[in-house]
Structure 1
Amino acid sequence: MYTCNESLLVKQVRNNINGGKVIFKDRYCAGPDNETLVTELSIQPTNDSVLGSITLIMLIIVMALIALPCFYSIWIIQNQMFTYIGFILVMLSCLIYLHFFNIKKEILTIIRCTGVQLTTIYATGRKQIQFVDVHNIENIVINEAVSMHKIIYYLAIILRRHPKTEQDHIIIPVFLHSMPRLDTLTDIYQTIHECLWKEPATINDTRT
């Protein structure tokens, strides 16, 4: 049996690589000997960021409503249903964006000696869950990607190569949409190693 220590929930407001603010939460569940068994790390946009996304969608709808009468006056002779079809297409486009692309929260759950679970929650409540068994994990590193203007650091899970296949290592990026800064990635990296493998991680080991 283990109990969740809600009083030990850590909630901080941090910046991502684009300068936007995100809410970083760290919550863990411990056993009778106070040994950490499950750690849940989550990153989500602040209320200002969510309000900005909603404002953008509303602006698109308003612009569509303003533009549709103009098109309707041109095409009224040929197709009287043009306005209704256009309005429906705009609404469907907004729903598709909210359901498949607008991410509300990303959660990384680390279970001691068992594995990690990646959960992505979208604006409509849809969840995308992926579990990775600890025996399939070769390492968890902070990698870097170089663009023309900057270096982007990201957390990645490296899976073991299957002995019967010639497939290269599979890399699963973590918090790819939230894109936290390097200091936040370092905290996450250390938490994963301490919880999953019971081994401390030094900052020098984080860049691979």
Structure 2
Amino acid sequence: MTFSSSQNRRQFLATSAAALTCAGIAGPAAALSESQAVNLVNSIVAEINRVIASGKSEAAMIGDFEALFVRYADVPIMALYVLGNDGRSASAAQKRAFTQAFQGYISRKYGRRFREFIGGRIDVQSARAIKPGYEVRSIAYLRGEAPFDVTFLVSDKSGRPLFFNMFIEGVNLLLTERTEIGAMLDRRGGNIDQLIADLRASA
């Protein structure tokens, strides 16, 4: 297994951990511990491997990925960050609709790359406290590729440990999605409802 570019590799791993990578959004961690943050990342990796080894169809795997994304990621925080300043004028109903459309869009966009991770692994290396919670650093090993860094940001702002961003080789993946979706919104003249509809309909 090989990747055609480092960008493809970053996109796939964003999906694999789902998220995609909003530092500074979350408030100070209260009860979150280092072990909780590390255990969360280990659970994500274990669940991804379970889905890959399931032998299910691509469509079923994508559905499983979306379930993992909802379970382990702070999707509302991520979605509002991606929506950016335009979210300030959005109604509560639009924010909810965008959050649902965003989670489905991310799942479909990257979930098809699951099979490329067969035979690979992610090993957690260390964790350190940061203002939003914890930064958990790991190394990814994929077939035919040199090992590379994957960093998860974990917070319990929403009441339980969840990851809210990732960095692949130093690239902020949630910021990348914010840029791309922001450009999509600009092309639609700032029409959030149209963006939501198009995200839902995306392949």
Q: Same fold (TM over 0.5)?
A: no
Larger Rg: 1
Higher percent of residues as helix: 2
TM-score where L is the length of structure 2: 0.28
| Structure possessing the higher relative contact order (Cα contacts under 8 Å, 6 or more residues apart) | 2
- Structure 1 length-normalised TM: 0.28
Greater strand percent: which structure?
1
